Amino acid sequence: MRVLGIETSCDETGVALYDSEQGLLGHALFSQVDLHADYGGVVPELASRDHVRKLLPLVRRVMQQTGTRPGDLDGVAYTAGPGLIGALMVGACAGRALAYGWNLPAVAVHHMEGHLLAPMLEENPPGFPFVALLVSGGHTQLVDVCGLGEYRLLGESLDDAAGEAFDKAAKMLDLDYPGGPRLAALAEKGDPRRFTFPRPMTDRPGLDFSFSGLKTYTLNTVRDHVLEDGLPDPQTCADIAAAFQEAVVDTLVIKCRRAIRATGRKTLVVAGGVSANRLLRERLEARLAQEGAGVYYPRHEFCTDNGAMIAYAGCLRLKGGQRENLDITVRPRWPLTELAES
């Protein structure tokens, strides 16, 4: 089965072709980082318009690069949520129209399910069952995964997600958009021992997260060390970034160890933009090895939003018999646990 995947949930336009026999055939991605950088964050209307401009040219590019014709396809998959409603509508309308014009079945894919399954695209993929840590954009979740669509939510962020906290802390340090990767880079130059930041909600049982208090603690630390230009000196900024990153990573690692122990699983899958963080990978691998558990990630280019994960998830869903009717429906908010088993 060969499936075209389309991802337009936020600020990256992704297109890919996945074949159930040959694997990933090709993919292309256009990032809107430069478009939104002047605003310090994603502007939904601009994101939607740029998806309109970039999506079909990317579809043509991937089809041409892989030598694929519409008649070679068995289906079209598109992200239907969660995400920005305007951006989702662009991909959903285009995907449904292409499927209709090519007389193919269409399937709506859950964005977080795509991230959850992204490590399956690697040469050494994990097998079901496993625990998943999803750290993508506005989501931080721990999920017990028994199979495709068999998801049990173990814990989630009660306020700011980890990615949001990274971006907001970066703004406090006057770092450019996208803030998360820039803060992580700055943290490499800092001393994480100079400041001790709290590890929120780790002093009590449970698997939920909360990063709003850590965000406030970071802001107060910045304000306590500002100079005349409104910022701390460069080394202090790096030390704050390092202490903040240590606090987030430690919190995620502690909760992952708890989830592994609570479920008895021996496999952890980490996916989403924050899964590319070097320190997080190092700490998880070291700590979970003590539990006898293995850790799996997608390759760095598939940590952020991409069409490959949508094409793969769509292929599994189509093989399981899922099909969409002619209605075009997107869900800006869509709990992962509402997905049907396949």
Residues 37-96: pLDDT tens digits? 999 999 999 999 999 999 999 999 999 999 999 999 999 999 999 999 999 999 999 999
Asked whether residue 164 falls in the same domain as residue 272, the answer is yes
CA separation for the pair 8, 78 (Å, rounded): 8
Residues 95 and 17 in one domain: yes
Q: Measure the CA–CA gap between 37 and 202, rounded to whole angstroms.
A: 34
Structure-derived torsion over alpha carbons of residues 327, 332, 335, 338, reported in degrees to the nearest 10: 0
Ligand-binding annotation for 48, yes or no, is no
Residue 135 marked in a binding site: yes
Q: Is 123 domain-assigned?
A: no
CATH value at residue 208: 3.30.420.40
Q: Is residue 167 part of an annotated ligand binding site?
A: yes
How would residue 137 be classed by pLDDT, with cut points 50, 70 and 90?
A: confident
Assign 340 a pLDDT band (cuts: 50, 70, 90): confident
Q: Say whether both 179 and 229 belong to one domain.
A: yes
| Percentage of the residues of the chain whose pLDDT score is greater than 70 | 100
111 is in an annotated binding site: yes
Same domain? 267 vs 170: yes
The amino acid sitting at 260 is: I
* Residues 224-273 pLDDT 10s: 999 988 999 999 999 999 999 999 999 999 999 999 999 999 999 999 99
The position carrying tokens 């699983």 is 265
Is residue 136 a known part of a binding site? yes
137 labelled ligand-binding: yes
Q: Does residue 115 have a known ligand-binding role? A: yes
Q: How many domains does the chain have?
A: 2
219 annotated ligand-binding residue? no
Asked whether residue 25 is assigned to any structural domain, the reply reads yes
Report the alpha-carbon distance of residue 310 to residue 301 in Å, rounded. Answer: 14
Do 38 and 159 lie in one domain? The reply is no
pTM of the model: 0.96
Q: Are residues 307 and 292 in the same domain?
A: no
Q: Are residues 171 and 241 in the same domain?
A: yes
- Separation of alpha carbons 158 and 71, rounded Å: 46
Domain containing 26 equals 2-118+302-338
Q: Check whether 305 is labelled as a binding-site residue.
A: yes
Can you give the pLDDT at residue 228?
Answer: 87
**pLDDT, tens digit, 9 for 90 and up, residues 147-190:** 999 999 999 999 999 999 999 999 999 999 999 999 999 999 99
Flag whether 149 is marked binding.
no
| 31 annotated among ligand-binding-site residues | no
Instruction: Label each residue of 156-209 as H, E or C.
Output: EECCCCHHHHHHHHHHHCCCCCCHHHHHHHHHCCCCCCCCCCCCCCCCCCCCCE
- Asked, for residue 30, whether it belongs to a domain, the answer is yes
